[in-house]
Structure 1
Amino acid sequence: MSETLLSFPQALATSSDSSAGLKQVRKRDGRLARFDLARIGTAITKAVTAELGAAAAHELPAHVAQSITDYTERVARWCDLQEQLAVESIQDEVERVLMTAGEHRVARRYVLYRESQAHKRKASATQVRLASGELTALPINALEHWIAQACELHGQAPQAAAITADIVRSLPTEVTPTQLFDATILALRSRVELEPVFTYVAAKLLLDRSDSQLLQNHHGAAILTPLSPSERRAGYQRYFPEYVRAAVARGQLHESMLDYNLEAIAAFIVPERDSLLAYLGVQTLYDRYFLAHEGLRVELPQIFWMRIAMGLALGEQNKLERVKEFYDLLSQLHFTSATPTLFNAGTCHPQLSSCYLSTVEDDLVGIFKAIQDNAILSKWAGGLGNDWTNIRALGATIRGTGGKSQGIVPFLKVVSDAAVAVNQGGKRKGAVCAYLETWHLDIEEFLELRRTTGDERRRTHDLHTANWIPDLFMKRVLARDTWTLFSPNEVPDLHHTYGRAFEQKYLDYEQAADEGRIKLFRRVSAVDLWRKMLTLLFETGHPWVTWKDPSNIRSPQDHVGVVHNSNLCTEILLNNSAEETAVCNLGSVNLGAHITDGVLDLAMLERTIRTAVRMLDNVIDLNFYPTPEAANANLRHRPIGLGLMGFQDALYAMQISYASDRAVQFADESMEAISYFALLASSELARERGKYASFAGSKWDRGYLPIDTIDLVEQERGIKIDVPRTAQLNWEVVRRAIREQGLRNSNVLAIAPTATISNIAGVSQSIEPTYRNLYVKSNLSGEFTQVNEWLVEELKGLGLWSEEMLDQLKYYDGELAPIAEIPAEVKERYRTAFEIEPRWLIECAARRQKWIDMGQSLNLYLAAPSGRKLDEMYFLAWKLGLKTTYYLRTLAATQVEKSTIDVNRFGIQPRWMKNKSASGDIQIDRTLASAPEVCNLGGDCEACQ
């Protein structure tokens, strides 16, 4: 056929003048209209043109125009045979004709055209009710433009039309601006699992709404007109000084915040750094951290970071210089202060410390003072650790009345209830961990406090518990020997000694019991008690396993007291007494942000740590102390706890599997570098500001660094600790600095869980392996689909990422092992927490412990726990010299929702699908899920971060 071009009107003129043209068509609204065959031709022509990509719709090749005429005539003949015609049925027939003719791609274009038209009709039918009560048409074009702008920043602009269509389809006929915004965010979040970058698009839109409320003083539909970068910068310049002055006037910020040149500080703000935040991070900040007034958040991310920086620089000489330094570190997410600092910096109650450790005295005044102190400290967002070993056991004689003691359990019930009643200022649940030494006569009841069966009056479901275990007990378990339980009022010095001195005193008391000089005691099998500890740990998640002797023997502050317990998250190890409530001040380096071209950037890490240590030291002087005992301890010893997060991200960036010798070596080398720079930074501060008050006589003063103290534990224990003492850096530099200048801080290093601040930074928690490559995270801000962005990018590079691959990930609960298409090397690097043998986590932790003066919040994972595996795991941790462990995690009964996939496609069952009942319902094997998936802090284990 000739390629002579015909105009579109000529093509339609060739169609037959069917009698269908005399018919009437019922419209969607019920009206009748004359049947117009040309409209069908127009629709088919548009579909063909869209597929061909023709430059002009009115010029088509002759054979194409003839085909359009033919398809139009077929539809006309069908219409001629119908008694009644409706718009939808005619459109259905157009689709059928195109499909019958083999025009599948044209038919697809026609379907999209129908959807587009339906979308426009829906949009025109939807109205927005503004705050004034006025109804206005849904601004569909503005909505799509707003979404397109956010998508364009992340290379997803072509998706804007489809996202807009999804939003419009989900809307009722009348919406509020808030409902429109929520529908927009939902449409974006539904795409995150296939394309993780949409989490940043959603974050951008959430910030646009806040911008409109604060920087433009607009509400509601103003979110559809986002600010340009220059307008945002100008908006910050205007709003920031107003915000500070207004917050001071309301009593939210301290009046000293007005001492700054606010206009100069506003110029330091870099609005573009908002793009570093994912949706979960922005939502977390919005829900839990931003200051609010009359229900409206009055902070934006960069204002928030600047408020923290200002709050931590109040005591500095060069305030402006330090504010910029602190702000740059925080806003680039290289380091993040702990949650209490983020909550309270710059406010009228700057309680910036994270953890408080107290010991409870054995009298009613001491007991109820401890409970009162817990309430006061918890109110200001502190995480609490209480030592209860001093309290006499059940059945012990009460000196004052001659009666018999009820032991520790009734008091712990009160502690538990008080923690619930005082919910950290309404921002998160209060939380306390009670510690008890293993020789205490009430230890067996203590182990059962979290059980869901038994006498409820002797259960504490909201109290965390931890065993404070002496090395002698572990030796007795190894020897399958007996263990003697005592009441502390009859063995008062056991609690205040450790190592060989403890062993000698314990043996003396056992002899005294044999000779009848001690009446209240009980002998048990050490193996049976150990087995009960592990059984209850598996069943209830508590008590946690922590060790008294390495915590004390390696303590740099052994000259001023005994470490009686740890904190809520088991990483802080500081001495306490009736006069001193130990305090620690936390923050974490984002290790993943310090990998450059696959290598740890030591220069960047040094800069980060020098600033971070200064910020943490400032906390001590600026802090609001809820109790005098806390002030006494913190100002005298000045401990800080610099930790890390994003360890797994660093491994991904370096293409290292967590389950490998390379990961163990990197754990060693990275922690060595952090320790090296942190100790140097503290020594530099000592030169500038002076040594901490109790420096004289400390291990630091005696020439001991953390790596030197492994040998001390080995000597006291009498058992080899198989951890290499090798080093990569020149530690003589550090030793010389401490000899000449001392240290500003008694303790410098501790690795906290970082659950919430990791969400903000968008990196893996603390030293944790990836939980799952795809899962739903639940916390106080809601539920968030989490997909491993590193994995998605790698699979994209291999051409393997698709909806099919996503379905397989869902089916296999985020594990790669059963997916045949994925290369073995990739599977190895993306093993998840339950696929990694616990020994790798313990080996990495042991290498870090070489360099840390306090401890680590070390979670351990078991896919299929058994008594043997638990025993081996915890004994390995003890033998390698670890001080503490944290949660034991086993597989949960709940998994990724699979209702959207065909579970029959993949051939085998995931391990959690034990079998199916006769009705076809899945039966969950709950033996794999006895321990809780998360703690009772609303999905946030990070009570002190």
Structure 2
Amino acid sequence: MSLGTETAAAARVVRLSNPAASASPASEPGYQVIRRNGSVSPFDASKITVALTKAFLAVEGSSAAASRRVHDVVAELTDQIVASLTRRADAGRTFHIEDIQDQAELALMRSEHHKVARAYVLYREDRARERAKAETKTKGKAATATPSLHMKTADGTLVPLDSKRLAAVVEEASAGLDGVSAEAILTEAQRNLYDGISVDELALAPILAARTLVETDPDYAKASARLLLDKLRREALSFVMGQPEQATQAEMAGRYAEYFRAYVQTGITNELLDPEIGRFDLARLAEALKPERDLQFDYLGLQTLYDRYFLHARGTRFELPQAFFMRVACGLALREIDREGKAIEFYNLLSSFDFMASTPTLFNAGTLRSQLSSCFLTTVADDLDGIFKAIKDNALLSKYAGGLGNDWTRVRGLGAHIKGTNGESQGVVPFLKVANDTAIAVNQGGKRKGAVCAYLETWHVDIEEFLDLRKNTGDDRRRTHDMNTANWVPDLFMQRVEEDGAWTLFSPDETPDLHDLTGKAFAERYAFYEARSARGEMRVTRQLRAVDLWRKMLTMLFETGHPWITFKDPCNLRSPQQHCGVVHSSNLCTEITLNTSNTEVAVCNLGSVNLVNHIADGKLDHEHLARTVTTAMRMLDNVLDVNFYTIPEARNSNLRHRPVGLGIMGFQDVLNILRLPYASDGAVAFADESMEAISYWAISGSVDLAAERGRYPSYEGSLWSKGILPLDSIKIVDEARGAPVDLDRGSRLDWDTLRQRVMTVGMRNSNTMAIAPTATISNICAVSQSIEPAYQNLYVKSNMSGDFTVVNAYLVRDLKSRGLWDEVMISDLKYFDGSLGQIDRVPDDLKALYATAFEIDSAWLIDAAARRQKWIDQSQSLNLYIANPSGKKLDTLYRHAWKRGLKTTYYLRSRSATHVEKSTLKGTDGKLNAVSASVPAAAPTNGHANGHANGHTNGHANGNGHAQVEAWGKACSIDDPDCEACQ
């Protein structure tokens, strides 16, 4: 068969809206296809099947065997195409014919049917040329009058489409954005207009048009957000005012105050807002609103707020951004004396993006059920009542949003004696399976899947089975595919690994005190039990080489993404609260280190400073930062008092110790602004400087609150009361290890004066700092996530709101200034997975500055984290990246983390070695290029790639146990929308 014959046969693929193609009924009722002439016809998925089948048979022949194979392949491809089209709920129920063709081409390329795909691409190009010729011939002739388009209102009435307003809205959205062309957005939007288009679809048309252009210039993300604002304004104003209304951004300057008062009453009437908000001086609050701050958003941030945060009733969002921020501010100011004054102060901090509260606070502040805390830590007792109470507590805590960290070390191991029945224990694993399934069943009030992390100490006799929990092989009854797991590693184990010594495993019912011991006390008692074991006096025990267990820990970490490596002794020895309890685990995201017991469930209350907003004249603005941190600490302290507690143990712990966790985001962006490559001494020094300043003002702010409101109840006896600040506590670890932690101890600020204030006045909060992942709130603020290095410079980010093209705006500006930003550069960035390293025409200084996560030696990430850790009284969510993992590299990396004194590490993220077949599709709303990527067989597949280690999102297991990446350039699974860690 000639190529020309192949092309002609494959041409049938494009005839997807031809009624003659199939008489089958439409498989997706309610969806419509816009043809190129603007007419509309029902969408019929069976036409895709028929067209694909004819194309395959034309290319591959029509033998019986080929026909059977083609039938199965086409069925799968059709399902993929239809799913890709219909999953985009925000795109309405109408598809342009070009969108369908794009998805067909994308599916063919992904599935590596290259002959059919090649023929299809060639045919599309030929048809485009033919249409262009036909249009040229009609020039000079009397043009057919363009039919006037109509819009269908909510009551079904057809009214003339207001093209002037559409143009005005697009023009307003493009104003002040140098890289944005209003004409380009309008041209793309008009392609998706048709006679009888609904009001919602008309509002979506320019939004989707601008989205497709983001890869050409990051400013289109702001234009998309402004266009989404127009849609939101129409929804919100119409709902709260009780009649159809709309307003441009300029008109809102005079309408926000009126809207805000109506919004509050609407929220109360619909039993969504706390009636106490209605008792504020609403006129004063309304006057303080800043409508112009609506223009700060990128599309990803605003769409995320629209989908998940803004209040809605009967399916309609009625909360505009500035009302949202004021609602949260009022919710945090409920107990203040000057409620309006403090609400306005909090509003200004939030709405300026200087600081952002955590997701549960944004969800629930000012509502009837104000559960504002982010994470909860529990310890599980060694009896059935205690175990199932812990599982019930997980369900209650998860219901109103919040990640869970459970310490399971006390539960006796496999084979241990059960006195009550004279039987043998099945160990901890069966109960972990129950906890896993509970997290899935209680899906955080229907908003997102429950998320939990189980911790186990390294000496527990079930540790090897614990390491296997996330494997996809073995007895599925002893697997927890949805639960995160983490090793709680004592220093003694690491010392045994260093010296290649023996390591003995015990059941905790025979060694109950090991659970609560740390440092030298743990080492001495552990040696005592080892001696008993050697004498045969222990019932359940086993000995192995420490190095062998360490290697298995690292192997499982690479293969399944779990368990994470966290260090028990630094968490406890540096804990300010070691006088009244023990840190038995960290939380879901490994940044919280708080005590737990039978009577106390630790609670973390989080928020993050946006570092980007605190850079002025090429350096850190300490005065601005001091103001931000001081107000942020007050807001976080207020959370403790207005919070809704689902179990008494959480309330007891929170009010007794009053811990908060102030973190940061935008670190990578600041390095770009300061021209500091992440892999540099300058970046490590800035990590030190910035965290020292935040630590200083966070502690100072807590002292100020103590002077005003009183010390936290358990202050006496704490490290704070002894004048031991986070920097000072490193010496405690030095002493316990018998060798100094390998860490720079330098400082810049006046710590002696602050130390005296802490001892004299006291602290309002037992803990003040923790660096959380911030994946969602950093999206809201349009800055880089937490302390993360850049994932890629051009990629598609996935979350519950869909897929979003992300372009490094700092890189684009640099490339533009050097005349290097063009279509070829965009294509190269796609081809090289967002990396500059292999693009020859990019100067070396830009390659170093914009090196991506897998191009940076993770030792630099550890060094920067260690310099931060010396200032932090809790910990930080530290992901590590490794492009080409090996046992030796992982061993070196994690030993380095321990020696630097880190308390915890988070995900290990690696990537596959193979990337093949990249297409050059556009117009797929963010799904830029198709890539098939082979993942090592050991990588987490699990139906979808829910293990977070291997850098792939939405992979699906195939027959070989490998995973297939669903779309090009996806931000890997740290952005998994089902993962609480990202929120």
TM-score, scaled to structure 1: 0.84
Match of residue 57 from structure 1: none
2:157 to 119, 134, 139: 134
2:560 to 526, 537, 540: 540
Cα 1:893/1:428, change in 2 over 3 Å: farther
Q: Deviations over 1:562-602 (max 9, x none)?
A: 10000000000011100000111100000111011211000
Match of residue 660 from structure 1: 680
Identity of aligned residues (%): 55
Match of residue 512 from structure 1: 532
Cα 1:357/1:92, change in 2 over 3 Å: closer
1:451 pairs with 2:462: no
Cα 1:876/1:784, change in 2 over 3 Å: same
Once residues 186 and 571 of structure 1 are traced to their aligned partners in structure 2, the CA distance between those partners, rounded to angstroms, is 37
Please show how residues 518-667 of structure 1 align to structure 2 within 5 Å.
518-667=538-687
Mapped contact 2:450–2:980 kept (Cα < 8 A): no
Cα 1:925/1:381, change in 2 over 3 Å: closer
Q: Deviations over 1:13-59 (max 9, x none)?
A: xxxxxxxxxxxxxxx99xxxxxxxxxxxxxxxxxxxxxxxxxxxxxx
Match of residue 4 from structure 2: none
Match of residue 899 from structure 2: 879
Once residues 377 and 903 of structure 2 are traced to their aligned partners in structure 1, the CA distance between those partners, rounded to angstroms, is 16
3-state SS, counterpart of residue 468 of structure 1: strand
The aligned amino acid for 1:161 is E
Deviation of residue 941 (structure 1)?
A: 4.7
Cα 1:184/1:661, change in 2 over 3 Å: same
Match of residue 268 from structure 2: 248
Deviation of residue 246 (structure 1)?
A: 2.5
Please show how residues 418-457 of structure 1 align to structure 2 within 5 Å.
418-457=438-477
Mapped contact 1:755–1:940 kept (Cα < 8 A): no
The aligned amino acid for 1:195 is D
Match of residue 209 from structure 1: 231
Deviation of residue 898 (structure 1)?
A: 3.4
Cα 1:91/1:443, change in 2 over 3 Å: closer
Mapped contact 2:799–2:977 kept (Cα < 8 A): yes
The aligned amino acid for 1:924 is S
1:233 to 240, 244, 253: 253
The aligned amino acid for 1:404 is E
3-state SS, counterpart of residue 656 of structure 2: helix
Deviation of residue 94 (structure 1)?
A: 9.8
Match of residue 966 from structure 2: none
1:150 pairs with 2:173: yes
Deviation of residue 125 (structure 1)?
A: 5.7
Cα 1:684/1:221, change in 2 over 3 Å: closer
Match of residue 199 from structure 2: 177
Please show how residues 844-855 of structure 1 align to structure 2 within 5 Å.
844-855=864-875
Q: Deviations over 1:614-652 (max 9, x none)?
A: 000000111111110001100000000000000011111
1:471 to 491, 499, 518: 491
Please show how residues 177-196 of structure 1 align to structure 2 within 5 Å.
177-196=199-218
Deviation of residue 92 (structure 1)?
A: 4.7
Once residues 457 and 338 of structure 2 are traced to their aligned partners in structure 1, the CA distance between those partners, rounded to angstroms, is 48
Match of residue 700 from structure 2: 680
Mapped contact 2:590–2:876 kept (Cα < 8 A): yes
Cα 1:856/1:821, change in 2 over 3 Å: same
Mapped contact 2:236–2:316 kept (Cα < 8 A): no
Cα 1:922/1:541, change in 2 over 3 Å: closer
1:890 to 886, 910, 915: 910
3-state SS, counterpart of residue 670 of structure 1: helix
Match of residue 16 from structure 1: none
In structure 1, stretches of 5+ residues that fail to align are: 1-27, 30-87, 97-109, 903-911, 914-920
3-state SS, counterpart of residue 579 of structure 2: coil
Aligned length: 823
Deviation of residue 818 (structure 1)?
A: 1.0
Once residues 857 and 817 of structure 2 are traced to their aligned partners in structure 1, the CA distance between those partners, rounded to angstroms, is 28
The aligned amino acid for 2:522 is F
Match of residue 977 from structure 2: 939
Mapped contact 1:383–1:944 kept (Cα < 8 A): no
Once residues 597 and 928 of structure 1 are traced to their aligned partners in structure 2, the CA distance between those partners, rounded to angstroms, is 49
Deviation of residue 258 (structure 1)?
A: 2.2
Q: Deviations over 1:114-144 (max 9, x none)?
A: 9x979x83xx264422222122343333322
Once residues 91 and 882 of structure 1 are traced to their aligned partners in structure 2, the CA distance between those partners, rounded to angstroms, is 63
Deviation of residue 202 (structure 1)?
A: 0.7
Cα 1:581/1:172, change in 2 over 3 Å: same
Please show how residues 117-128 of structure 1 align to structure 2 within 5 Å.
121=146, 124=147, 126-128=149-151
Once residues 227 and 253 of structure 1 are traced to their aligned partners in structure 2, the CA distance between those partners, rounded to angstroms, is 27
Cα 1:138/1:897, change in 2 over 3 Å: farther
Match of residue 163 from structure 1: 185
Please show how residues 339-354 of structure 1 align to structure 2 within 5 Å.
339-354=359-374
3-state SS, counterpart of residue 729 of structure 2: helix
Once residues 731 and 90 of structure 1 are traced to their aligned partners in structure 2, the CA distance between those partners, rounded to angstroms, is 73
3-state SS, counterpart of residue 861 of structure 1: strand
Deviation of residue 242 (structure 1)?
A: 1.8
The aligned amino acid for 1:353 is S
Mapped contact 1:485–1:521 kept (Cα < 8 A): yes
Once residues 449 and 127 of structure 1 are traced to their aligned partners in structure 2, the CA distance between those partners, rounded to angstroms, is 58
3-state SS, counterpart of residue 889 of structure 1: strand
Mapped contact 2:358–2:608 kept (Cα < 8 A): yes
Once residues 415 and 159 of structure 2 are traced to their aligned partners in structure 1, the CA distance between those partners, rounded to angstroms, is 75
The aligned amino acid for 1:352 is L
Deviation of residue 826 (structure 1)?
A: 1.0
3-state SS, counterpart of residue 713 of structure 2: coil
Once residues 686 and 974 of structure 2 are traced to their aligned partners in structure 1, the CA distance between those partners, rounded to angstroms, is 33
Match of residue 56 from structure 1: none
Cα 1:490/1:170, change in 2 over 3 Å: same
Q: Deviations over 1:236-272 (max 9, x none)?
A: 2112122212222322122221221112111111010
Cα 1:833/1:351, change in 2 over 3 Å: same
The aligned amino acid for 2:419 is R
Mapped contact 2:915–2:933 kept (Cα < 8 A): no
Mapped contact 1:892–1:929 kept (Cα < 8 A): no
In structure 2, stretches of 5+ residues that fail to align are: 1-36, 39-128, 923-928, 941-948, 952-971
3-state SS, counterpart of residue 768 of structure 1: coil
Q: Deviations over 1:533-570 (max 9, x none)?
A: 11111111100000001110001101001100000000
Mapped contact 1:807–1:901 kept (Cα < 8 A): no
3-state SS, counterpart of residue 545 of structure 1: strand
Mapped contact 1:890–1:928 kept (Cα < 8 A): no
1:282 to 282, 298, 302: 302
Cα 1:690/1:89, change in 2 over 3 Å: closer
1:406 to 417, 426, 429: 426
3-state SS, counterpart of residue 461 of structure 1: coil
Once residues 341 and 944 of structure 1 are traced to their aligned partners in structure 2, the CA distance between those partners, rounded to angstroms, is 15
Mapped contact 1:339–1:944 kept (Cα < 8 A): no
Worse-superposed segment, 697-706 or 930-939: 930-939
Q: Deviations over 1:49-74 (max 9, x none)?
A: xxxxxxxxxxxxxxxxxxxxxxxxxx
Cα 1:462/1:701, change in 2 over 3 Å: same
Once residues 479 and 858 of structure 1 are traced to their aligned partners in structure 2, the CA distance between those partners, rounded to angstroms, is 27
Once residues 710 and 740 of structure 1 are traced to their aligned partners in structure 2, the CA distance between those partners, rounded to angstroms, is 22
Deviation of residue 923 (structure 1)?
A: 6.8
Match of residue 118 from structure 2: none
Once residues 220 and 597 of structure 1 are traced to their aligned partners in structure 2, the CA distance between those partners, rounded to angstroms, is 48
The aligned amino acid for 2:729 is T
3-state SS, counterpart of residue 315 of structure 1: coil
1:260 pairs with 2:280: yes
Match of residue 830 from structure 1: 850
3-state SS, counterpart of residue 682 of structure 1: helix
Cα 1:331/1:90, change in 2 over 3 Å: closer
The aligned amino acid for 2:848 is E
Please show how residues 669-748 of structure 1 align to structure 2 within 5 Å.
669-748=689-768
TM-score, scaled to structure 2: 0.81
